Amino acid sequence: MKYSQAQQGRTFIIRLEDGDIVHEEIERFARKQSITAAALIILGGADTGSSLVVGPERGRSKPISPMEHILDDVHEVAGTGTLFPDGEGNPILHIHMACGRKTMTITGCIRNGVKVWHVMEVILFELVDTTGIRVLEPETGFKLLNP
């Protein structure tokens, strides 16, 4: 385990609108508001064609080959995530969402592009006085949080 401590800064209430790409809008907002780190909760609707990363093709094999799932219709969503800068200071969002329709639910990472269906609500809790940064780990190809 690795850890560090942070303080809570500002809290933002954000409404994403129809057609917005979730990670692009939140990262843009973070740059505009000079937010370097945050925790987020999100809920609303994901549109048809949204893409989720739903795990690696094969357990612990290397290199890691992610699987993608494309939503075939509108889904209700609930998610939670974090935002930390990469080595160049760019805010990088990492959110996992559960996307449900009727009796089926798919859960995954939104980094390939989840598109808002009408509206998504986001509560963003800024974290200040933190040393957290996302560092590229060559073995996995992931930008992992280094607290």
**Per-residue pLDDT of the chain in tens (147 residues, 90 and over written 9):** 999 999 999 999 999 999 999 999 999 999 999 999 999 999 999 999 999 999 999 998 888 999 999 999 999 999 999 999 999 999 999 999 999 999 999 999 999 999 999 999 999 999 999 999 999 998 888 899 999
Q: What pLDDT score does 111 carry?
A: 95
The whole-angstrom distance between residue 35's C-alpha and the CA centroid of its chain comes to 15
Burial 114-124 (b: 16+ CB within 10 A, else e): bbbbeebebeb
The pTM (predicted TM-score) of the whole model is 0.95
Of the CA atoms within 13 Å of residue 21, those in its CB half-sphere come to 13
Kind and range of the H or E run holding 11: strand 7-17
Residue 36: which residues within 8 A CB-CB, separation 6 or more?
30, 84, 85, 89, 91, 130
The whole-angstrom distance between residue 80's C-alpha and the CA centroid of its chain comes to 7
As its CATH architecture, domain 9-146 has 2-Layer Sandwich (3.30)
Q: What pLDDT score does 126 carry?
A: 98
